[in-house]
Amino acid sequence: MEKFIVTGGVQLNGCVQVSGAKNAALPIMAATLLSHGLTVLHDVPELRDIAMMQNIMKLLGASVVREGHTLVIDTVAVTGTDIPEALMREMRASVFLLGPLLGRFHQVRLSYPGGCAIGPRPINLHIKALEKLGAHIKEGSGYIDAEAKKLVGNEITFDFPSVGATENAMMAAVLAEGTTVIRNAAREPEIVDLQNFFNSMGGRVGGAGTDCIFIRGVKSLHSTEYQIMPDRIEAGTLLIATAMTGGNVIIGNINHACLFSVMDKLQEIGSVIECRGNAIRIKAENLRRGVDIKTLPYPGFPTDLQAPMLSLLTIAKGTSIISETIFENRFKHVDELTRMGAKIKVEGRTAVIRGVDALSGTCVAAPDLRAGGALVLAGLVAAGTTIVDEVYHIDRGYERLEEKLNSLGAIILRK
């Protein structure tokens, strides 16, 4: 099993480009199943989760060819609607196949999805939304069987603005008869990207980015060529890494409008941030002040950046408090950071962090994707050497993270 060997005490400086967004690419890949033609997707990152989605789509009968960061997907020959349990358990995002397969073939069978163990993420909201559109769904023995003679537009109101459920409802509704209205919809930028993708194929979707999405069903979707949005979570991680190391970095291929909540906290901590077109320059000062953070649905502070930010706050002056409101088990990195000398106390969904003068390098293990990224960042500022095991978690969502950090002056060896 691969590991990262991180030499601490570096300062990040230079320029780096952000990859395409994993959280936009995965649902868009699934959505190509609704088309009977060829789809060309640009800026698709090379990640474990993307490769797994490619494997699932190939098993269903699609042709998926990667050319650099471009995927050429042909779904004409797709006939499968039954996804093996082994593949479903590898990746949480496999649940995105429920909506498009139901929308195109009116039936689908899959097991409950896997993914990072960051707390329960029930798919009841997905199921209720699909039932609103006319699907009949049975659950039993770990499987979900869904069928619908036809899907018909309806009004869907979510109890919680779930990103995945919003996207699945959009994918099922785009070919449904009539109009679908999704209320209390998630507002994340990745949902706007999915809307734009559908409209490039002839779909009629509006309102994404607000809490009310309108979808007027069409009879078919045509071939398209589309560019995936930049990864705002990777961008945020690079911003935080620069702030931790006292560096000066320009991050390109970035939509700064997606990162206001993160930039606001980094400025409060003491960093100087300048937006330049599709780039952000961050110059970190030696002063790092503690701050309080509460994770919230977009446009609030993203839960996916809670772990990297917690790493930063371990070396900030004073006391900081992080409240995690999205996932109940997203402090698994705390024990590992404590091994490095951090002072953190967790009570339920709240972490109280008392800043220390320095962290110490040691052996740690990545418990999940974002926690793994946080441990790498901690290693950048720790005295001595930090060994981060189980980096396959990191490879699920960060494209060649060590290479990007090394290009800025970090010393990270994959072994």
Residues belonging to the active site: 116
How does DSSP assign 214-237, residue by residue?
A: EEE--S----EEEEPPB-HHHHHH
How does DSSP assign 120-174, residue by residue?
A: ----HHHHHHHHHTT-EEEEETTEEEEE-S--B--EEE-SS--HHHHHHHHHHHT
Residue 262 · residue 271 · CB < 8 Å:
no
Sorted by sequence, the CB contacts under 8 Å of residue 132 that are 6+ apart come out as 154, 155, 156
Rounded to whole angstroms, how far apart are CA atoms 224 and 346? 48
Strand order, beta sheet including 70-74: 63-67, 70-74, 38-42, 224-227
Rounded to whole angstroms, how far apart are CA atoms 235 and 232? 5
Instruction: Tell me which amino acid residue 79 is.
Output: T
Residue 134 · residue 150 · CB < 8 Å:
yes
Which residues, in sequence order, are bridge partners of residue 179? Answer: 216
Residue 270 · residue 284 · CB < 8 Å:
yes
CB burial readout 334-372, b (16+ within 10 A) else e: bebbebbbbebeeeebebebbbeeebebeebbbbbbbbb
Instruction: Tell me which amino acid residue 351 is.
Output: A
Residue 45 · residue 394 · CB < 8 Å:
no
CA torsion sign for 394, 398, 400, 404 is negative
Sorted by sequence, the CB contacts under 8 Å of residue 105 that are 6+ apart come out as 81
Cα distances from 63 to residues 41, 55, 60, 202, in angstroms, run 13, 10, 9, 22
